[in-house]
Amino acid sequence: MNKRIKVLVVDDSAVVRKVFGDELSREKDIEVVGTAPDPYVARDKIVKLKPDVITLDIEMPRMDGLTFLKKLMRYYPLPVIIVSSLTSKGGKLVMEALSLGAVEVMSKPSSAYSVGEMGVQLVDKIRAVAMVNVEARGEESSEETIQPKMASEALSKTTNKVIAIGASTGGTEALKVVLTGMPPHAPGIVAVQHMPANFTAAFAERLNGLSAMTVKEARDGDSLANGVALIAPGNYHMLLKRSGAKYYVQVKTGPLVHHQRPAVDVLFHSVAEYAGGNAVGVILTGMGSDGALGLLKMKEAGARTLAQDERSCIVFGMPKEAIKLGAAEKVVPLNRIAQTALNLIVE
């Protein structure tokens, strides 16, 4: 019999602790071994109960979640899912938490957020982070990115080229590595990162401050051009469209795909249709199969395709499924994704 995933819920809200406990108790492969109203209680329970996964609120009394996360990652590193309110302040704190080593993020249940939908996402995220490759997480921050050696003249001729990227668990830091590895004149990039609404704006803002490209959360009708990277907004699908020689994006609602909105497959299918052989598709770390079929469609339409390798993935789910389908032309480590994508663009 497979070992159950032991979860510790750390949140100052008794309501959230009860909701999470009730939702998770329905799953045969998950066990809530304890709850804690603050980091001090959590510290003692971690030592005693040895959980596999922690859900962690950021804003708590006595010690804030970020301070606790720093200490946890230094002395007792574990997969951590950040739970935060849907606020601008919450979004910025979440970005800091992800940079400190948290591997997933989700919204607190509220009147605007279905507890049932939250339960499905919580279970999926716990199963995903329980598979986290802790060794890869450590290497991710220490392994130097291969800086692209690409002549400006070569890229200046790529005005009709597009790079499409999909990522999930562990993808916030993986996307940071890829985008900070791109020169300012790189082809336009469209990217889907599985992330709740309101957090994607803070995510794009963070990447914009680190990258030589202009990075922004996409809005319906935004144009795509060299030097611009558009991040799909949380709770909306993003599709690539074309008008004459110009690319733009459509941002829309619609059914969840692979339990996700935005979904990588939705983006990749549109890139296959409207960019075809002018595109490079990249699938990064994440749980599940979102993006695998879309990457295959891109390859069949003449696009060049890449998947992140297992060793550098936090969770080797999405790339693995794409590779199994024969959708990935090349499989490369994270720190070589940017250079390889640019090489394929100008070949």
Bridge partners of 214?
A: 228
Bridge partners of 247?
A: 224, 242
Strand order in the sheet with 237-243: 223-224, 246-252, 237-243
The answer to whether the beta carbons of residues 268 and 298 sit under 8 Å apart is yes
Residues near 339 by beta carbon (within 8 Å), at least 6 away in sequence: 146, 147, 148, 149, 150, 181
Residue 269 annotated in active site: no
Catalytic residue among 52, 84, 124, 168: 168
The answer to whether the beta carbons of residues 137 and 170 sit under 8 Å apart is yes
Neighbours of 50 (CB within 10 A): 12
Residue 99 annotated in active site: no
The answer to whether the beta carbons of residues 71 and 78 sit under 8 Å apart is no
Catalytic residue among 84, 124, 194, 309: 194
Catalytic residue among 269, 290, 309, 312: 290
Distance CA 235, CA 252 (A): 9
In terms of Cβ atoms closer than 10 Å to its own Cβ (0-12, 13-18, 19+), residue 187 is buried
Distance CA 132, CA 10 (A): 20
Residue ranges of the alpha helices (H) in the chain?
14-24, 39-49, 65-75, 88-100, 115-129, 134-142, 152-155, 171-180, 199-210, 264-274, 292-300, 318-324, 337-346
Residue 211 annotated in active site: no
- Active site (catalytic) residues: 168, 194, 290
